[in-house]
């Protein structure tokens, strides 16, 4: 391959895992919606607590598909850690 041939080929563009970022943001939004901000006392359905985890896993799958293994790990952990952080913060604020 000559220099002229190499100069004509555009360099491979770096891709960003934007879909993963969006799903991570959606997981954070869902976690912010989970607490009973109105104080009605009605519990959320149990399946709602799985939504951030599923969004994190979906983001991880998309990151792996785009060959971003570190973002995949971060997204998978993000979904699980958000629920744990929510539980700790609610316990610290309202008491055990």
Residue ranges per domain, the chain?
A: 17-32+48-96
The per-residue pLDDT for range 1-53, each reduced to its tens digit, is 445 555 555 655 568 899 999 999 999 999 999 988 888 888 889 999 999 99
Angular region, 76: left φ>0, alpha ψ -120 to 50, beta rest: alpha
pLDDT reported for residue 9: 57
Question: Up-side HSE of residue 7: CA atoms within 13 Å toward CB?
Answer: 3
Structure tokens at 69: 């293994």
Nearest to 24 by CA among 48, 54, 55, 50: 55
Angular region, 41: left φ>0, alpha ψ -120 to 50, beta rest: left
Nearest to 20 by CA among 86, 84, 70: 70
CB 53 within 8 A of CB 25: no
- Please tell me which residue, 94 or 84, carries the higher pLDDT value: 84
pTM of the model: 0.79
């Amino acid at each position: 391959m000559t220099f002229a041939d190499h100069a004509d080929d555009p360099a491979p563009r770096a891709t960003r895992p934007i879909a993963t970022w969006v799903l991570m943001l959606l997981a954070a939004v869902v976690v912010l919606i989970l607490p009973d901000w109105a104080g009605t006392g009605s519990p959320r359905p149990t399946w709602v607590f799985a939504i951030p985890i599923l969004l994190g896993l979906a983001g991880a799958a998309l990151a792996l598909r785009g060959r971003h293994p570190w973002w995949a790990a971060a997204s998978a952990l993000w979904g699980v850690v958000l629920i744990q952080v929510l539980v700790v913060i609610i316990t610290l604020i309202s008491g055990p």
